């Protein structure tokens, strides 16, 4: 153990803490606990869903379940009459057998006839008011990031995703050591005249509990050098942190410093703070040992200044502020009939918080665990426009939110991997949406994979087209295989895109603007196929996993997507093309620390190993920077 002591009489608080933390090697331990006991604890690893939610296609409304085909022609002039053989009554949440229908119509939208039958004057689309399997949660999807303090609302996603046990950071065990001959503990001893009552040990205990540690008050130490030496040595083996509280007698303070010096190291002694100046920051056996002055006011404040950040560092627990002001990143329409509580995510853009509304359906548990805050829209407001300033009630500590790297663009499973290692706030709007977000400077990065129909080149020609007068920066990501996701064993024997049309297969499509959709359209055009003949071309979902889940549950028979999604859902996959999934960077922050850290992560061995464990991915210089010079 080094004996190098730094006696700085009056070092600044911030400097003292920085110096101290740099000399401690934090050894983070984890433990598995029941999800039911996990609120307030911090996740050690990311948590992935075991089950989908809903686990079956379910009715989203009270009404009737039928084939949309039946009322395809219904209008006020040409009503369609339905008798009880045409439909089945369903309530909200009821499982639906998709061989018996493909949409739900609300009772209010039908006209009941005297014979108990119905008249419909309105048509319906397939999937109307049906919650597909996995609408909320898809098995295998990340539910909660690592290093996140678990909130009551997170239990929703965790339990719904079938998680019963969770790995969290262990709480640090803190030994509180009162010293001083004249100190008495009125909870253990009789009160004596001319004695000092120890209140500090109990204040420390309450503070440490609040800050996420487990406090143990030790037997009082007499003012005896050798006894203290023996005791501190012993405690440093069994505890994560020691706090020695000096008695008010002058001698004991020096004992503490000298003992730490002899069996460990005093790193800081004397900080420029009042009260609290004589605080000692040291270590014994690698464990932090803090010597706190005796007067109760100094003691309380010194704990607040030194112990609190130490425990924050050891537990990753930060306090939640109450409210924050931000700028709305997407307009919201609300009704004058009620006050509305919108779940939002937050990210910093320049010096401002951008407030993005999340999915508003009450069935989406993950909108709670994903939410950084809640935006209240009062009854008298009909909506809030893009760019308006709003006040958000925070659900997470700002420290968790502040360094988020903002990603708006195409979805890929790689984004989940990145999000667990880098603080990421990721929105999935497809490649084209990503390009727009960069144009409006609403995002830090935009993951894109866009095939130029003419050149066959990925991404670069699109960037040149949309940013003709700017120097842009593209960072290489991963190569991934796109192909057909089909049922297990490929019973329909599908081999290429044209088989889908020829065999009249039920297809599931990705949303307009997504790279996968562009790829499909490119192939259809390339082979002179008409999308009008593609059954399910209008059935749009937002992610690769959603495509796989639709096939898994029989809603569709094939879809275009990536190999890893097929694997997660235990389906078959027919590879068709290799595509380039890269990151377009917001030019204003291309030299920032955030982006440097992101590029460093893309080049890391850690990511390399993770990617290699996924099916259908390969690496082609991830993190490589391509400068795309302005063409004018």
Task: Please tell me the distance from the alpha carbon of residue 481 to that of residue 616, in angstroms, as a whole number.
Answer: 5
Which listed range, 192-200, 347-355, 469-477, 564-572, lies at the site for a copy of itself (CB under 8 A)? 192-200
DSSP letter at 208? H
Instruction: State which of positions 352-371 bind a copy of itself (CB under 8 A).
Output: 361-365, 367-368
Which listed range, 72-80, 193-201, 254-262, 556-564, lies at the site for a copy of itself (CB under 8 A)? 193-201
The interaxial angle of helices 515-526 and 430-439, nearest 10 deg, is 120
Instruction: State which of positions 250-279 bind a copy of itself (CB under 8 A).
Output: 250-251, 271-277
Instruction: State which of positions 578-597 bind a copy of itself (CB under 8 A).
Output: none
Cross-strand partners of 428: 409
User: Which of 75, 91, 440, 504: binder of a copy of itself (CB under 8 A)?
Assistant: 91
Binding status of residue 195 toward a copy of itself by CB under 8 A: yes
Instruction: State which of positions 105-144 bind a copy of itself (CB under 8 A).
Output: none
Instruction: State which of positions 204-223 bind a copy of itself (CB under 8 A).
Output: 205-207, 209-210
Q: Are 71 and 80 in contact (CB under 8 A)?
A: yes
User: Which of 46, 124, 155, 486: binder of a copy of itself (CB under 8 A)?
Assistant: 155
Task: Please tell me the distance from the alpha carbon of residue 407 to that of residue 397, in angstroms, as a whole number.
Answer: 20
Smallest distance from a copy of itself to CB 308, Å: 11
User: Which of 75, 83, 319, 631: binder of a copy of itself (CB under 8 A)?
Assistant: 319
Instruction: State which of positions 223-252 bind a copy of itself (CB under 8 A).
Output: 247-251
SS3 613: coil
User: Which of 5, 30, 55, 128: binder of a copy of itself (CB under 8 A)?
Assistant: 55
Smallest distance from a copy of itself to CB 223, Å: 11
Task: Please tell me the distance from the alpha carbon of residue 242 to that of residue 221, in angstroms, as a whole number.
Answer: 13
Task: Please tell me the distance from the alpha carbon of residue 217 to that of residue 220, in angstroms, as a whole number.
Answer: 9
User: Which of 109, 182, 227, 261: binder of a copy of itself (CB under 8 A)?
Assistant: 182
Binding status of residue 618 toward a copy of itself by CB under 8 A: no
Binding status of residue 452 toward a copy of itself by CB under 8 A: no
Binding status of residue 338 toward a copy of itself by CB under 8 A: yes
Per-residue 3-state assignment (H helix, E strand, C coil) for 356-408: EECCCCCCCCHHHHHCCEEEEECCCCCEECCCCEEEEEECCCHHHHHCCEEEE
User: Which of 191, 226, 493, 593: binder of a copy of itself (CB under 8 A)?
Assistant: 191
Q: Which is nearer to a copy of itself, 341 or 577 (CB)?
A: 341
Instruction: State which of positions 278-297 bind a copy of itself (CB under 8 A).
Output: 293-297
Binding status of residue 322 toward a copy of itself by CB under 8 A: yes
SS3 319: coil
Which CA distances in Å does 587 have to 438, 447, 601? 8, 14, 19
For the chain, the residue count is: 632
Task: Please tell me the distance from the alpha carbon of residue 44 to that of residue 401, in angstroms, as a whole number.
Answer: 18
Contacts of residue 7, defined as CB under 8 A and 6 or more positions apart, other chains included, come to 269, 270
Distance of CA 352 to the CA centre of its chain: 20
Contact track, a copy of itself, 481-510, x by CB under 8 A: ------------------------------
Smallest distance from a copy of itself to CB 50, Å: 9
DSSP letter at 149? B
Residue 623 CB-density burial (10 A; 0-12 exposed, 13-18 middle, 19+ buried): middle
Instruction: State which of positions 9-28 bind a copy of itself (CB under 8 A).
Output: 10, 12-13
First-last CA distance in the chain: 64
User: Which of 86, 109, 167, 340: binder of a copy of itself (CB under 8 A)?
Assistant: 340
Binding status of residue 324 toward a copy of itself by CB under 8 A: no
**Which pair of tokens denotes residue 195?**
């004695």
Instruction: State which of positions 517-536 bind a copy of itself (CB under 8 A).
Output: none
């Amino acid at each position: 153990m080094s004996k190098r002591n730094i006696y700085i009489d009056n070092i600044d608080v911030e400097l003292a803490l920085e110096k101290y933390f740099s000399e401690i090697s934090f050894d983070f331990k984890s433990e598995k606990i029941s999800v039911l006991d996990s609120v307030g604890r911090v996740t050690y690893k990311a948590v992935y869903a075991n089950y989908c939610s809903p686990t079956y296609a379910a009715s989203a409304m009270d009404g009737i379940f039928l084939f949309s085909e039946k009322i395809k022609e219904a209008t006020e002039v040409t009503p369609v009459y339905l008798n009880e053989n045409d439909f089945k009554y369903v309530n909200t949440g009821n499982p639906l057998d998709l061989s018996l229908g493909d949409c739900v119509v609300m009772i209010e939208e039908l006209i009941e006839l005297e014979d108990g039958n119905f008249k419909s004057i309105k048509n319906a689309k397939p999937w109307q008011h049906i919650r597909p399997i996995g609408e909320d949660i898809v098995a295998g999807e990340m539910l909660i990031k690592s290093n996140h303090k678990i909130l009551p609302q997170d239990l929703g996603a965790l339990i719904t995703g079938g998680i019963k046990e969770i790995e969290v950071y262990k709480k640090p065990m803190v030994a509180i050591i009162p010293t001083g001959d004249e100190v008495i503990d009125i909870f253990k001893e009789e009160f004596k005249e001319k004695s000092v009552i120890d209140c500090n040990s109990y204040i420390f205990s309450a503070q440490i509990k609040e800050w996420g540690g487990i406090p143990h008050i030790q037997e009082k130490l007499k003012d005896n050098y050798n006894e203290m030496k023996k005791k501190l040595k012993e405690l440093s083996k069994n505890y994560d942190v020691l706090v020695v509280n000096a008695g008010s007698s002058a001698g004991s303070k020096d004992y503490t410093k000298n003992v730490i010096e002899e069996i460990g190291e005093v790193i800081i002694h004397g900080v420029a703070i009042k009260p609290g100046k004589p605080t000692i920051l040291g270590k014994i056996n690698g464990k932090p040992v803090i010597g706190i002055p005796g007067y109760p006011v100094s003691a309380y404040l010194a704990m607040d200044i030194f112990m609190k950040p130490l425990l924050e560092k050891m537990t990753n627990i930060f306090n939640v502020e109450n409210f924050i002001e931000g700028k709305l990143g997407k307009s919201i329409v609300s009704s004058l009939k009620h006050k509305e509580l919108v779940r939002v995510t937050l990210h910093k853009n320049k010096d401002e918080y951008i407030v993005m509304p999340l999915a508003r359906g009450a069935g989406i548990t993950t909108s709670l665990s994903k939410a950084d805050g809640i935006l209240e829209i009062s009854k008298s407001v009909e909506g809030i426009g893009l760019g308006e300033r709003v006040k958000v009630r925070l659900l997470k500590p700002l420290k968790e939110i502040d360094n988020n790297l903002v990603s708006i663009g195409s979805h890929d499973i790689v984004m989940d991997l990145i999000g667990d290692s880098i603080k990421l706030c990721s929105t999935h709007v497809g490649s084209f949406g990503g390009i727009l977000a960069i144009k409006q400077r609403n995002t830090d990065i935009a993951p894109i994979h866009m095939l130029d129909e003419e050149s066959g080149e990925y991404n670069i020609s699109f960037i040149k087209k949309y940013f003709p007068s700017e120097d842009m920066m593209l960072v290489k990501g991963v190569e991934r295989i796109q192909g057909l996701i089909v049922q297990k064993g490929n019973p329909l024997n599908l081999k290429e895109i044209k088989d889908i049309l020829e065999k009249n297969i039920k297809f599931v499509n990705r949303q307009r603007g997504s790279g996968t959709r562009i790829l499909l359209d490119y192939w259809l055009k390339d082979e002179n196929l008409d999308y009008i003949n593609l059954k399910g071309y209008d059935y749009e979902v937002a992610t690769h996993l959603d495509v796989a889940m639709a096939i898994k549950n029989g809603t569709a028979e094939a879809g275009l997507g990536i190999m890893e999604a097929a694997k997660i859902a235990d389906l078959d996959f027919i590879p068709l093309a290799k595509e380039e999934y890269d990151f377009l960077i917001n030019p204003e922050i291309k030299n920032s620390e955030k982006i440097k850290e992101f590029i460093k992560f893309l080049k890391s061995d850690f990511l390399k190993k993770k990617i290699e464990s996924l099916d259908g991915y390969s690496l082609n210089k991830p993190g490589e920077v391509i400068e795309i010079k302005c063409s004018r």
